[in-house]
Amino acid sequence: MNVTVKSFATFREVMDRQLTLDIPEGSTIRTLLAELNGRYNGLNELMFATMDTLKDFVNILKNGRNIHFLAGLDTPLDDGDLVALFPPVAGG
């Protein structure tokens, strides 16, 4: 199945701003990130605080919904999903 990933702001400094990946059925955000971490050097360090927790500025939207309110890293993915990786900016 195909999932589209978009990255924003500082994430673009280590990865493409948009890509479509063919991933196996049953994939989750966690397995998607593992796939991305295999492709892009530095992404893991940028996103993860520990192996199992994202840094607090990492926000992931699946079809416009924050995975924080879904099943976090275990949020399941479906064909055609759009996953946005976005570090909210905070200055003013």
Partner 1 sequence: MSSDERFLRQIPLIGEEGQEKLKKARILIAGAGGLGSAIATYLAAAGVGYIRIVDVDIVENSNLNRQILYHEPDIGACKVEAAEKTIRALSHDVEVDAICRHIDEKTVRDLVRGTDLIIDGMDNFAARYILNSASLDEKIPFIHGAVNGFYGQVTVILPGITPCLRCIVPTPPTWERNPIIGVTCGVIGCIEATEAFKYLTGTGEILKNRLLLWDGLRGEAESLQIMRYPDCIDCGSSAIEQDVRRFRV
Contact footprint for partner 1 (CB under 8 A): 6, 8-10, 12, 17, 56-57, 59, 61, 63-66, 68-69, 84, 86-92
- The nearest distance, CB 30 to partner 1, in angstroms, is 18
Q: Which is nearer to partner 1, 24 or 92 (CB)?
A: 92
d(CA 89, CA 80): 28
d(CA 12, CA 18): 9
- The nearest distance, CB 55 to partner 1, in angstroms, is 8
